[in-house]
Amino acid sequence: MTGSIAALPAAAPQASAGPATLDIRNLSLTYKTSTREVLAIRNLSLSVQAGEFVSIVGPSGCGKSSLLKIVYGLVAASTGSVTMSGTPVTGPRRDIGMVFQAPVLLPWRTILENVLLPADVLKLDRDAMRTRAHDLLEMVGLKGFEHVYPDELSGGMQQRAGIVRALIHDPKLLLMDEPFAALDALTREQMALELQRIWMSSGKTVLFVTHSISEAVLLSDRIVLMSARPGTLLAEYETPRERPRSFDDLSSPRMAELSKAIRRGLNEASTRHDAR
């Protein structure tokens, strides 16, 4: 459980150049359906530094998932741009990993095969990937479950496999869309601590969407608050530098103050939405 990703074999030659920076400029997104147009995101700008852990909080339906999908290259922005380490993101790219809200494991593949899916699709060296997969699975506590099918695992274990799958090809940027939302409170806290450890040992840039303020405060260097739809940036909160953090640390005066401020901001953002 103490392995460090830095010591693992690099996934692919082109992916070894360290964490990415992310620059989101004046982003807007309009969903066009046959009956109406929905402005989901309006003029959102956000910069993420290399190796930074940034969380996004905001009222439900404010466009957080949409934002991640744009960064991941699944959805095209209506206006504005996303630039990753200097190159514009115009479609899916191999150096971004995504953890979905649901684990989205394929039931006909074992855990190991599921985790190796990116390696198969990207045609990476299978033996090196296998070694890496075993190391990563061990790190998230899934050793011994390599040849088990997903439906034999608990929700938390499935989600951990999902995280390993996102990390397998050593992406420079990790996107996580409420990855722990489906878990019980206790598992959720354990997973957050595990993620903190993974992030600290890998030094990846992470963009993390959550509804949990304590999760955001525990994990993030910076927390950004989005307004109700159409989503735009309302506020940013810096957390103290100390790492690693535990959930007990959150009761320190500074952290408690920060959590309170975020909660207040989130409430305001939500009620403003209700008033319309």
Beta bridge partners of 57: 225
Burial (CB count within 10 angstroms: exposed 0-12, middle 13-18, buried 19+), residue 50: middle
> Which of 58-66, 103-111, 217-225, 236-244 is the region at the interface with ligand ATP (rule: CB under 6 A)?
58-66
What type of residue sits at position 253?
P
Q: Are strands 22-32 and 79-84 parallel, antiparallel or unpaired?
A: antiparallel
Residue, CB closest to Mg ion: 65
Residue window 202-241: x/- pattern of binding to ligand ATP, with contact defined by CB under 6 A: ---------------------------x------------
Q: How far apart are alpha carbons 243 and 197 in whole angstroms?
A: 10
Indicate whether 96 belongs to the interface with another protein (CB under 8 A): yes
**Binding flag, residue 208, another protein (CB under 8 A):** no
Q: What is the DSSP string of 187-221?
A: HHHHHHHHHHHHHHHH--EEEEE-S-HHHHHHH-S
In the chain, which residue ranges form alpha helices assigned H by DSSP? 64-72, 111-115, 117-121, 126-139, 155-167, 185-202, 213-219, 253-275
Which of another protein, Mg ion, ligand ATP, none sits in contact with 117, Cβ below 5 to 8 A by type?
A: another protein
Minimum Å gap between C-beta 61 and Mg ion is: 8
Separation in Å, CA 122 to CA 86, 99, 170, 173, 195: 23, 17, 12, 17, 25
Give the x-and-dash track for 71-90 against another protein (CB under 8 A).
-xxx----------------
Query: Could you tell me how many residues of this chain bind ligand ATP (CB under 6 A)?
Result: 13
Q: Which one among 10, 30, 31, 141 touches ligand ATP, defined by CB under 6 A?
A: 31
Q: CA distances (Å), 144 to each of 2, 19, 148, in order?
A: 16, 30, 8
What minimum distance in Å lies between the beta carbon of 100 and ligand ATP?
Answer: 11
Beta carbon nearer to another protein, 147 or 276: 147
Stretch that binds another protein, among 25-33, 141-149, 239-247, 263-271 (CB under 8 A): 141-149
Which residue ranges make up the site for another protein (CB under 8 A)? 69, 72-74, 91-94, 96, 98, 100, 102, 104-108, 117-118, 120-122, 145, 147-152
